[in-house]
Amino acid sequence: MATINDRVPVSNIKKIAVLTGGGDCPGLNAVIRAVVKDAINCGIEVYGIEDGFLGLIEDRIRPLSLDDVSNILTQGGTILGSNNRSNPQNYPVGEDKDGNIIYKDLTDVCVTHLQIRKIEALIVIGGDGTMSVAKPIADKGFNCIGVPKTIDNDLYGTDITFGFQTAVHVATEALDRVHSTAASHHRVMVVELMGRNAGWITLHAGIASGADVILIPEIEFDLDKISEYCLWRSQRGKRFTIIAVSEGARPKGGKQIVDRVVEKSPDPIRLGGVAKWLATEIEERTEIESRYVVLGHTQRGGTPTAGDRILATQFGHHAMQLLKMGKNNRLVVMQGGVLGDVDINSAADKQRLVPSSHPLITAARSVYTSFGD
């Protein structure tokens, strides 16, 4: 991992652009604010690309001023808009006579739209999907600087992404609230959390809330063992059982539960439904009343926590530092508490998953938390 000092020479770069790819995430506006203010302070013009790579394809690019980023630090979402369905390398442009979708590579179109405005570098804020989509543009010789964003915390190469802390806070608060209703009605409560194929949110929120069972994609669970655990708690006089389950969790030998498939999306699989399935199966096996809650997009919305605002500001500033140093195609990362950078292509098409030997898993097991295995 490369690191840089805070005092860096200013390169000859004059114009940059910034976009927010993938889903919305708390802290996006904090990054945009840091980039715009830092750049303008150095005499660099900044352009904002609306709705992620879709805006780059459609040439919806506008100048950003200090007024545009005033008072946005605490706002959730992104003032530029985002999009998680548009991949310039494989963009749907119509259908053939048989109704099959026709795809076309519009990477050159995107580069042309940047070149027309004499934009010299592109700051892409996003997760692994965004970095994968940025790779062909970087391969064309256009400088892309990546900023790691995702509530899932699954971007390869960095210990943490902004948005994750807010998602954990929201999920923990929801799990805390579920405790009271579960205890009142002697229920098993199953709470489904986001995370796709990574269990970081569920692991952290589950531990923070004292969940009795934590189910993550990295550890396949045994439904019989979970049911036995719920019965054991009930027989010991425990009034309820709280289960925190990641949307990507799966039973041993089974598959993830898919809610739907979005054909035109670069990431077409939409997970969901595991909490409902679990609650139904547990009630049938134990005869303990079981209910489920799906937090869904509430984990991605609202005001970012102080930690995410600080981290996002650091990431935005560091992205500008890299540009000033004349660095090309780098991804801002945090490793061991230290800001640095890695090759942006190193994060493309990869996911950072929870290792089974992670210290948090060991700590949770030591306080009788079950992982269903």
Hey, which residues are catalytic here? 152
φ and ψ at 174, to 5 degrees?
A: -65, -45
Distance from C-alpha of 261 to C-alpha of 364, rounded to nearest angstrom = 34
* Residue of 241, 247, 214 whose CA lies nearest to 370: 214
Q: What is the 3-state secondary structure (H, E, C) of the chain?
A: CECCCCCCCCCCCCEEEEEECCCCCCCHHHHHHHHHHHHHHCCCEEEEECCCHHHHHCCCEEEECCHHHCCCCCCCCCCCCCCCCCCHHHEEEEECCCCCEEEECCHHHHHHHHHHCCCCEEEEEECHHHHHHHHHHHHCCCEEEEEEECCCCCCCCCCCCECHHHHHHHHHHHHHHHHHHHHHHCCEEEEEECCCCCCHHHHHHHHHHCCCEEECCCCCECHHHHHHHHHHHHHCCCCCEEEEEECCCCECCCCCCEEEECCCCCCCEEECCHHHHHHHHHHHHHCCCEEEEECHHHHCCCCCCHHHHHHHHHHHHHHHHHHHCCCCCEEEEEECCEEEEEEHHHHCCCCCCCCCCCHHHHHHHHCCCECCC
